[in-house]
Amino acid sequence: MTDESTTTGLSAIALAARIRTGAITATEAVEAHLERIDDRDDAINAFVTVCADDAREAAAEADRALADGEEVGPLHGVPLALKDLGALKAGVRHTYGSALFADHVAERTSAIVERLEDAGAVVIGKTNTPEFGHKGTTDNELIGPTASPIDTDLNAGGSSGGSAAALAAGMTPIATGSDAGGSLRIPAAACGVYGFKPTFGLVPDDGRPSAFGRELQHTTKGPMTRTVEDAALLLSVMDGPHPDDPNSVPVDIDYRGAVDRSIDDYRIAYSPDLDVFPVVDEVRAVADEAVTAFADAGATVETVTVDHGYSMAELTEAAMPAYTTSVLENATLIEESHGVDFRDQSEAVSDSLLAMLHVAEEYGPEDVARSGIARTDMYDAVQDVLADYDLLVTPTLSRADRELYADLGDDAWEWPMTWPFNWTGHPVASAPAGVTDRGHPVGLQLVGRRFADDDVLAASAALERERPWNHLYE
């Protein structure tokens, strides 16, 4: 038998290489991660469903394929965790993070899951999320909150909190997430892992019954990993047009080649607060120090203002109509497709979701239309910065101490510095920047030009080389 801690500490690329050479079997890899889940998940609560039997069967088949000399994919035998929202696998429970769907089973497999499984990945389970991904912390009426493995008194962030926590705790080497306002990047920062929101349209979404519900907030799926190299591999597997997604685009990007690229000629703009976000001193200090790594790697780094022209209150006011309306749209689709009205079964629905639906009902199409003006101004401001610089870098979160059971109150929009880039559709990664004096992880956002996702990966890899973050998982 292989050592569990050694196996679960490997990157996906390293683990896949060992499986292909026979140093580790796929069955041993899956068993080590299942044992890790048994050991750690009671304290973290990352998984809604663990697919132990199915994973063992898939791993045994993966071992047979290697023994028979079959050609295998780049993720052959590697355990994969799926966010329990949008990442469907036929025959597996899919709850959307809702107690109302505790027994719901997916009838089909999503496009990105098919692609990952075709590349050899073995689905090990479904990870926790707030109901329908409606907020930036992971807590629900189904299984409760998910903790950050870095400090279990803190929330893992949301809405892809279960995936981020599972990665940081060594319960999976790779996971999926999705992002409508920061749902990949917020938990990546809170758990000290790497999350990548690709340019809108690169990773297809074949969601139904509506194929047109992602534009208002530029919602997209993406990879969550512990290393930049693993994220690049997952992107190379997940991306590409799909006939069932009217927003998918045929753009060819060399994700994996970008990881080894020099950033000597990069010009990087650093905005410590996007002009108006209330970044606390301990986060600002970590971010200020982390950006020096880009200069150490040869890039030119300059502090800038984004000049979008809005106060924090004005940005929040503009954000509310579009975001809450997108949540109401999701609730409407659920009612149409499943016959479930959240308000009629409010005892099983979180107060925060009910409150958001109530707020959304107060807005009309004219409010959404007005919010588009601020959205366009933000887009133009970011484009102006990226006309002169290759990347815009900011902290991911304005603070790093969101408690496990904390409600998102007045600072719900001030805490994540992520959602403006769902307005704009740019590619954005959150990479670990370091920890505060209290040991809380801080994330750094790297924003690239649209469809220059490879630039984001190149700079992320340079940051990882200059300031390795694998010690966070020890």
Supply the residues annotated as catalytic: 83, 159, 183
Distance CA 414, CA 315 (A): 10
The phi and psi torsions of 267 (rounded to 5 degrees) equal -110, 125
Place of tokens 């409760």: 144
CA atoms within 13 A on the CB side of 96: 21
Quick one: tokens of 352? 């925060």
Distance CA 56, CA 69 (A): 20
3-state DSSP percent of the chain in helix, strand and coil, to 5: 40, 15, 40
Four-point Cα dihedral 331, 332, 334, 339, nearest 10: 120
Terminal Cα distance for the chain, rounded:
21
Closest CA to 244 of 364, 111, 333: 111
Question: Tokens for 402?
Answer: 């969101």
CB 147 within 8 A of CB 45: yes
Q: Which residues pair with 195 in a beta bridge?
A: 224, 430
Using DSSP bridges, classify how beta strands 267-270 and 391-395 pair: parallel, antiparallel or unpaired. parallel
CA 131 from centroid of its chain's CA atoms:
16
The four Cα atoms 289, 181, 173, 140 give a dihedral, to 10 degrees, of 120
Tell me the DSSP string of 139-202.
--TTT---EETTEEEEE--SSSHHHHHHHHTTS-SEEEEEESSSTTHHHHHHHT-EEEEPPTTS
CA-to-CA distance for 279 and 32, rounded, in angstroms?
40
